[in-house]
Chains A and B, each alone.
Chain A
């Protein structure tokens, strides 16, 4: 039966900012869905507050609302657009929760909007643990298989304590209901832990509900991805087995597809249960995933949970199998059945089948614990990873080794170079491997090398013996490599078959990596490229989706058009996320339009770039020099290669530029030499001197004595950091000599081999970001962003406004001149991002990055100009003048000459504080600093700054309050600037609470404030609560707390972590306070409207034409 004819307009809800547990995979799925629906001739209305997504590109939907994903804003959009249907299953938990709220509030009924792809009852049955248990029981009644872990539902701490006895004692699992990515869940081994985890869980759950469960720690863990259509046809798209047994969130586990250690009987039992569950839950159409635990001793199967929507795992499954779950879910939602939808990859067979794999897929998580040194790094049922890499190989070791090197993290690959004697004691290594952590697999390998037996490894880790044996196999090959008299061709080929990198072989043999590569090439040991085809070669594949393997036959077809190879950005991490994928995808689109054959290389399964129909060819491969060189070789065999683009994928590909060039690979765009010029402190300094541009004073120190001298010369405060860092790692502002000494002691490890850079810290400066294009003669100023937080907060964590709200035409003129001078001096061909600081009247240059920056998507959306597309074209030789003539860039003017009535866009960063606890279970501090820690961002766009800022806050953290109690406690240096905004708060009807010092200042300025007790003062004699207690009790609506430097840090820490725990808006800079006051004002003044990007763009284009 073909698609429904009664639906003409569909609203799709995205997932909002990237946070842990809900990341780029929903951009991938949402983008697919929007494209499918549009191709079906439907009007697609999209809401997503995240500007860094492809789905919010104006051409993906018909009306794109970059507005907060809250029931209030979505209702405004519904009222305006009047869609017939709402598709809520492709935007993660955020979209699903919003849809349920709209349903409960009666909004959907009011406007006659039908939920498609899911129904509320099915969502509840799937997500409510009590109801889901009933589902599982019903399934057991029908098919005789499947059960739930024994459990009790609790709504209070008393019920929780009683529940443990009911289950037969500790350990127990605590799972809050309706939270995403398992937020707030964990194992409790005793009452203390139970009180902490369950207390947190009750608070986090929107229904104040947690589930206590018998422990199935150490069991085997599996997942099935299923799809169902309206005719009740059900297929299992993919099975996934976790390398890490039960106890580690599947998002934090190493996972393998297909399942490796199930017999057919056991697999079919899971399949039967899965199908029975999807029917029982009543997911009418679309995808869902179901997780299982299996007792390795007797095969007892427990159904853990199901997600009645497209999930992170479905993105992984789509990439792992070539079966595009989100795309098909969208088609099913509008009425198609599986047999009516063709399989894109074979073109001749239908989607109503189950993919079969002739390769192995391994996903490994990437963590960012180094950014949160206080956080407990033990892996639990709460997801903590910030990204993931996937690799495909013809066997498990090959896929695993490729995945580990895809992580691009020091120490992520197995280390066989350290002598066994240097690894440490076997028993200690086994003891360490008991605790699941980032890199446990490396600890296991070290234990194996130190002599652990398979039995000992299983006893310590419960990792399945088959997986363990594969690790032993890898280790044995490493031993052979080490012991061999020479690197014989057979041995080398064997090592490559099991995924050893040239670098690993080099380390084992004591050679240089390039020497191993040369030997390998001489011996003719090179990878072939196989196709991901959904059917294990039963049918011919039409889609060139490749992975490398050391096997016999390659499937790369010859081509005639020149190819451009675009290097992606690898696993998401803090500082390098979806924004870079956005630029890579844009480059691919633009270059395909310009007549090139585009070849994408990336290893991040969450992304749009690794969708097989984004580029002409996709290589799902690690982004290491070795892997990229082999792809270049294969593509050169296939046809002409115009060049490789390294500028758009962030630091990962940029770091390969010089080595690629040295290996004879044409790097297009900004040359590797120019990249070096911008990145090397000394060379860049000379560029600035030649251009007559000031930079803050700085120096390089190798010892405390030197550092002391340099800092004194510059004058405190100074910014200190190790010389090689990325993303501001280890960077701090130091206010005096004692703190400098303290810094060097604390970072002894970081700085031992590298000098320390000491910069003048520009106190009270305005920080400005500029994105620009340069073609060698003309500069196109993409956009000027004024940071809301002062200089010193990492630009990635700072909110910013575009166009700048306090800079005048004169300032923009100076910025343009400086940008052009730097672009010319460095030799940029494409994008450059420069950070400036305006202190007094001096415009300092902080740093320049000759590549696409994190802000490119934001700038592009705020100004309605596709900067990344233009950059890609410039890299391949187009000029800005040509692009203006073509219409890719505006005919005249640029991002620095926006019309006066252009909309104001505010970008706000989203930080993962609520995800982390220290080892004692306390929250981690939320103070912003020079080290970037945000995982994602939102954009608020409106005609005035206040409203745009309020929208950005609503999108990031929940709406700003318009009344209630505001607590104010600021550092001495901030007290003066706090007075005016505080007065405004009172004028708007807020009651002010303050600690004694701040209250005194306020009162002296005629502002009434109630004194509350500090946490350090403790409860008062008459039971007066401290500020922290008040926050926990939900009696504070807004918190303003700026850090005090070194003194009384603890108080602020408790306040800020309490704010995070209770989700109370917490402003940590006075600049943010001032902006928030404007936002609150705008919100209280009345109706805040919604406007699509297309409308904004139309307005801008019209204004530009004037």
Chain B
């Protein structure tokens, strides 16, 4: 690369937060304008998985790790068919990727998928700002989209807020599809796609589960049409308070006492189905280093998180719900946030974090085994 090419490769870009704070940097990926909710993710690896996680729909993700793109892009690691983040904020994008599986650069991938990003900003200052002020709306503007600050701020303020957003249908599959079991098939699971990540059905398939992934709009009849041994509710974007359809669907499953497992958004749905409230965290949990304690064993697992909302349930004692007693099974040791729920009288449990772990550590993979045990127990 010549000297002039180094300079020309990045057009100016501006990041504007809804409280008026502005960062200037250079365009990364597509040039133009994007709006969304600003959140930060602290994972040092796994940018491909993060970008393609449907739960990041409508969010502009700030990476706290400064070097992004070092391992390029491969075709094996994405968690869905496309990049879902609304915008991408990095400090030092790689110019030359290095990995034996890499097939193109991240910059090319972002550009090809039309994802507007910004590089060269003080991502730590931005993260600290979001930590202190909370997640908020943001816009990234580059090329012709750059206007005077007041105009850009007005655009940001006009964007919809995350609270009250019902987004599952926007990211979920519209057609049902099946992920076959790896090896001998032992169980059938109906997985309600609220924004499911590719690794989740894979982790089930590894355990001999045939996974029928159903659209977010699936009815109770659709679910039972596959004759499931268990039902799964996936992760997904948006405010759980708006997810009335999945909540009523889950109640139907609970009434039938079919083994049930939920992850992330699915945990919030279970919370609501049981009658607990949900609330928006100030700046969420997004990273792959979060300590969660399994209250049953006392053991700590290091886990992958991506959630902006959480369930409001009592930590100290089981609660009575329409489906029997429920207890908080997992807790985040950083801040005491509810990270898992379990019914004591019916075969249902859920976690707020990501045992499928892509990206992230595999400490919580045992939860898929617990799901299998529930289904085995139901058969016995």
Contacts and interface: CB of A to CB of B under 8 A. Distances in A.
Interface of A: 231-233, 235-236, 258-265, 267-268, 271-272, 296-299, 337-339, 348-350, 352-360, 394-396, 454, 464-466, 468-469, 472-473, 476, 479-480, 483, 530, 535-540, 551-553, 555
A243 B100 CA distance: 17
Interface of A is mostly: loop
A1102 B131 CA distance: 58
B290 A357 contact: no
A328 to B, nearest CB: 14
Contacts of B333: 339, 349-350, 352-353
A553 B362 contact: no
Given A268-B362, A356-B42, A536 B65 contact: yes
B1 A472 contact: yes
B209 interface: no
Interface in B353-367: 357-362
11 contacts: A233-B299, A258-B65, A353-B334, A354-B288, A354-B302, A357-B65, A358-B124, A358-B127, A396-B92, A466-B97, A536-B65
B95 A469 contact: yes
B120 to A, nearest CB: 8
A530 B361 contact: no
Contacts of A473: 6, 95
Contact of A232 (B6, B101, B299): B299
Interface stretch (B69-77, B234-242, B250-258, B371-379): B69-77
A353 B293 CA distance: 11
Contact of B66 (A261, A354, A360): A360
Interface in B245-293: 287-291, 293
Contacts of B77: 263-265
B67 A356 contact: no
B98 interface: yes
Given A263-B45, A263-B48, A469-B95, A553 B124 contact: yes
B293 A261 contact: no
Given A271-B361, A396-B67, A476-B1, A537 B127 contact: yes
Contacts of A394: 66, 91-92, 124
Contacts of B360: 264, 268
Contacts of A298: 100
B188 interface: no
Contacts of A356: 42-44, 64-65, 287-289
A233 B360 CA distance: 16
B70 A260 contact: yes
A1083 B18 CA distance: 79
Contact of B99 (A261, A268, A352): A261
B368 interface: no
B302 A552 contact: no
B287 to A, nearest CB: 6
B379 to A, nearest CB: 28
Closest 4 CB pairs of A and B: A264-B46, A553-B125, A264-B359, A552-B122
Contact of A454 (B7, B96, B121): B96
A298 B100 CA distance: 6
B306 interface: no
Contacts of A350: 291, 333-334
B67 A358 contact: no
A552 B65 contact: no
B91 A395 contact: yes
Given A299-B101, A358-B123, A483-B3, A339 B67 contact: no
B287 A360 contact: no
B290 A268 contact: no
Contacts, number: 176
B67 A553 contact: no
Interface string B105-149: 000000000000000011111011001000000000000000000
A551 B302 contact: no
Nearest to A257: B44
Contacts of B335: 348-349
A1073 to B, nearest CB: 58
Contact of B92 (A261, A352, A395): A395
B94 interface: yes
Contacts of B95: 469, 473
A175 B66 CA distance: 38
Contacts of A479: 3
B65 A358 contact: yes
A354 B289 CA distance: 5
A466 B67 CA distance: 11
B37 interface: no
A276 to B, nearest CB: 11
Contact of B98 (A235, A337, A465, A530): A465
A357 B44 contact: yes
B210 interface: no
Interface string B34-50: 00000010111110110
Interface string B1-33: 101001100000000000000010000000000
Which of A231, A262, A265, A360 has the most CB atoms of chain B within a 10 A radius of its CB? A265
B298 interface: yes
Contacts of B96: 454, 465-466, 468-469
B169 interface: no
A452 to B, nearest CB: 14
Nearest to A553: B125
A1070 to B, nearest CB: 60
Given A233-B299, A264-B358, A480-B3, 20 more contacts: A258-B44, A261-B98, A263-B77, A265-B358, A268-B360, A299-B100, A337-B300, A339-B333, A354-B361, A356-B65, A394-B124, A395-B67, A454-B96, A465-B96, A476-B3, A476-B6, A480-B7, A536-B42, A540-B131, A552-B121
**Chain B CB within 10 Å — which of A258, A260, A360, A539 has the most?**
A260
B130 to A, nearest CB: 9
A539 to B, nearest CB: 7
Contact of A537 (B124, B289, B302): B124
Most buried by A among B44, B91, B289: B44
Contact of A539 (B49, B64, B125, B334): B334
A552 B289 contact: no
A355 B302 CA distance: 11
Given A235-B302, A258-B44, A466-B98, A339 B291 contact: yes
A540 B70 CA distance: 28
Contacts of A264: 43, 45-46, 48-49, 77, 288, 358-360
A553 B122 contact: yes
Nearest to B98: A466
Nearest to B287: A356
B270 to A, nearest CB: 25
A344 to B, nearest CB: 15
B124 A551 contact: yes
A395 B66 contact: yes
Contacts of A476: 1, 3, 6
Given A358-B123, A358-B124, A262 B71 contact: yes
B14 to A, nearest CB: 14
Interface in B313-344: 333-335
Contacts of A267: 45
A260 B70 CA distance: 7
B62 to A, nearest CB: 10
Contacts of A469: 94-96, 98
Contacts of B287: 356, 536, 538
Given A394-B66, A395-B67, A538-B287, A262 B98 contact: no
A538 B300 contact: no
A354 B334 CA distance: 12
Contacts of A265: 76-77, 358
B362 A272 contact: yes
A538 B42 contact: yes
Contact of A262 (B45, B94, B300, B358): B45
B315 to A, nearest CB: 15
Contacts of A535: 42, 289
Given A353-B334, A465-B98, A263 B46 contact: yes
